[in-house]
Amino acid sequence: MKKRYHQFNSKRKIKKLTGIELQLCSELAEKVKYGGNPEHKMNPGDFGLIPPSGPRPGKSLCDSVKVFSKKTALKYLQAGLRKGLVSERCNGDWPKNIWAVTDNGIALEAQLENPETGTYHGYPMPESDPLATEIAKLWKP
């Protein structure tokens, strides 16, 4: 049987922010929304997803890092913005990706779902993703 190796999106790059850009990220943190994606949930919790949950093989699950509520997911999303862990690529004011790290040290990645509303969905990054290691290092004070 042929072994499959996961390839990660090479377009994902962390933006080096200026002071003004970091201020903009803090302002966006007050407006950002978390929508969620049923493919990354075993249990729907209070995410209000349609379908309620539908984990797909190969998708990382939020349940595995104990993110069971929309409030918790939003907290991590806002923290990532405030720390300036955003991608170089944007759609309007919104970065395509925002990264954060859980209290247990697991790197999370969020993808922009809707640039009109600033809504994202997120998931834990696989340990094999080289960017996850970089995010964890940058997260530390």
- Tell me the two tokens of residue 17: 């922010």
Tell whether the model's pLDDT for residue 8 goes beyond 60: yes
pLDDT digits (tens, 9 = 90+) for 30-89: 999 988 666 655 555 555 655 545 545 555 555 556 565 788 889 999 999 999 999 999
At residue 5, the pLDDT reads: 45
Domain range list for the chain? 19-139
Cα–Cα distances in angstroms (integers) from residue 18 to residues 5, 22, 25, 92, 140, in the given order = 36, 6, 11, 18, 19
Q: Note the pTM of the prediction, 2 decimals.
A: 0.79
Whether the bond into 51 is cis, omega within 30 of 0: yes
Q: Give the number of other Cβ atoms within 10 Å of residue 125's Cβ.
A: 22
pLDDT digits (tens, 9 = 90+) for 101-126: 998 899 999 999 999 999 998 888 88
b/e per residue 39-56 (b: at least 16 CB within 10 A): bbbeebbebebeeebebe
Q: Which residue has the tokens 């007050």?
A: 30
